[in-house]
Amino acid sequence: MKQYQKLTVTEQLAYRKRRELWRKLNALGCELDSWLARSEPNGPFEKHHTQIRAVRTHLGQWSQTVRSLVKKNLRGDTDAFLASIYNAERLILSEHRIWEFFRGKLVQRDEEGFRRYLAIADEFAWACYSPIQAHVYADRASPSCKEPPLVFFNGGTSPFSSSRGKDFKPEEVRIAGEDLSGRDIELASKLPIPVVGLPWHQIAHLPEALVIGHEVGHLVEDDFGLTDGLQSLLLEGLAEAKAETRQGAWVKWLGEIFADIYGCLSAGPAFVGALMDFLARDYAEISFERKTEKDWSPYPTTYLRGLILLNVLEEMGFPDKVAGYRSLWDNFKSKMPREFSDDVPFIVRKLLNGNLIKSTAPGVPAASVKEIFCFSRAQQDVVDRAVKLGTKMAVAGSDIRVLFATARAAYEADPKTYIRENYGAKILTHIEKNVIRRGIRRKELPLTFQQIEEKLRGYEESARSMVDEVLRESDASLLRIQADANDVVAGATDGSNAIQPEQEKPSSARG
């Protein structure tokens, strides 16, 4: 190649861009490798090894595509190379943004004040997620079998999960005046790592952390493809209730109803208490809330949500616990037609007991969600015995769902003593020392080298499909930009005013 100084200005530009792209790719690869090293056994992020490995494998395919795009025209003419840069830079930008989405959540664990709480929240989320995963996937090496959920703090006022569509959004990010695009968020959500966001303030109040069970319910519905089955069960329940005329509302609310049910299954009565506290508003706001066909929204009215929780507890076998919560909820009333309240028992019975969860293993019959995952009377008895001890309560056991439920039950029984005795910190310390172990998470089966390789190949195939999709969109965008530019040139040539002052200007190639 000619000396740089002897190149034309256009050739010099191409020369610089080649090296610029290479350095950008190498920088991201080095950072991902360093994170992978930190996640090796006995490393600070060993619990996140499979999550980081999954992201590394996915983004490795993005980098490989960019390298191919660059190499394809590396020895060609300068114009051909420069024409290929748009797609390459678009992929690099998406690659960096997707990694930053996960990196920002992982790096919170470098902060000493957050590390313990997030590790414990991860463990609770996994305890809620893994029973369904174990039933569905006979082959844990399947690429469809996602990694454990990743919990993080964010600036929202309530928890959310990655499977909830438009609710899955990071705090606003501005880069040179740009928002993090919805497309980048959508791409991130397709990676095999479900995420659960918690409000920052929740670190100070463990009893509210039980709402993680609700968010895991959303993940379970989407990750295991339960939506169609849930709708079928719902329609069966509505038919029994002769409630077909109210079908539109209940279908709209189904996702949130199932998540509330799943939260009850995760921690029993303690979850009901936590969610009722979370939902609490003044009398008028709850009692006069009304929804119509024009604005069903994804949530039932607050009153109906409370009624659903009470019915779930009844079906789970906790009639003794229902009485106290019902006395609270009886202070409110519903502005919705009475028939909606009458529908609730039919819906709850079907969603809890219908054969919903299908296994990929041949010959394994479908099972209800309650058969696979349910907070039992035996677990609740442990909670009750601990709370009865009052100030003499000793934290014990290794069942993290019981420990979380105990924190909530102790707070509910006597908030003043809970705070004075610092039960929350004691329970967190116990979990850290006696529940969370080195290596993989509890009930997470180790994979053989061959199984890992099989899973990574599946991730690579998924990544290639995502990259192809982005490139198709990028090519279409570039064609639109070129067409806009041609219109401008044509307008200038014929002397017309192609862009009026009040019209929107064509977007730039980097916009």
Residue 284: pLDDT band by 50, 70, 90 thresholds?
Answer: very high
pLDDT, position 485: 46
d(CA 353, CA 70): 56
Token digits of residue 135: 């039933």
The answer to which of 117-121, 344-348, 491-495 has the lowest mean pLDDT is: 491-495
Amino acid letter at 51?
Q
The yes-or-no verdict on residue 256 having pLDDT over 60 is: yes
In this predicted model, which residue has the larger pLDDT, 301 or 27? 301
d(CA 58, CA 200): 29
Mean pLDDT of 357-363: 92
pLDDT, position 50: 85
Count CA atoms closer than 13 A to 349's CA, side-chain side: 11
For strand 195-199 and strand 150-154, is the pairing parallel, antiparallel, or unpaired? parallel
Q: Please report, rounded to a whole number, the percentage of residues in the chain having pLDDT higher than 70.
A: 81
Nearest to 47 by CA among 150, 139, 144: 150
Helix (H, G, I), strand (E, B) or coil at 170: coil
The yes-or-no verdict on residue 84 having pLDDT over 90 is: no
Helix (H, G, I), strand (E, B) or coil at 196: strand
Nearest to 216 by CA among 301, 124, 146: 124
Of 61-75, 204-218, 387-401, give the range with the top mean pLDDT: 204-218
Triad 478, 480, 481: Cα angle to 5°: 65
The answer to which of 86-95, 226-235, 316-325 has the lowest mean pLDDT is: 86-95
Residue 226: pLDDT band by 50, 70, 90 thresholds?
Answer: very high
pLDDT, position 497: 41
d(CA 496, CA 91): 37
- Using CA atoms, how far residue 50 sits from 147, 311, 455, in Å, is 7, 39, 10
Residue 4 burial (CB count, 10 A):
10
Mean pLDDT of 224-247: 96
Nearest to 447 by CA among 145, 243, 125, 132: 145
Residue 208: pLDDT band by 50, 70, 90 thresholds?
Answer: very high
Residue 358: pLDDT band by 50, 70, 90 thresholds?
Answer: very high
The yes-or-no verdict on residue 496 having pLDDT over 70 is: no
pLDDT digits (tens, 9 = 90+) for 335-354: 999 999 999 999 999 999 99
What secondary structure letter does DSSP report for 357?
B
Q: pTM for the full model?
A: 0.83
pLDDT, position 180: 47
pLDDT, position 269: 98
Nearest to 344 by CA among 298, 307, 389: 307
The answer to which of 268-282, 316-330, 402-416, 496-510 has the lowest mean pLDDT is: 496-510
The yes-or-no verdict on residue 166 having pLDDT over 50 is: no
pLDDT, position 125: 96
Backbone φ, ψ for residue 360 (5° rounding): -80, -10
Amino acid letter at 223?
D
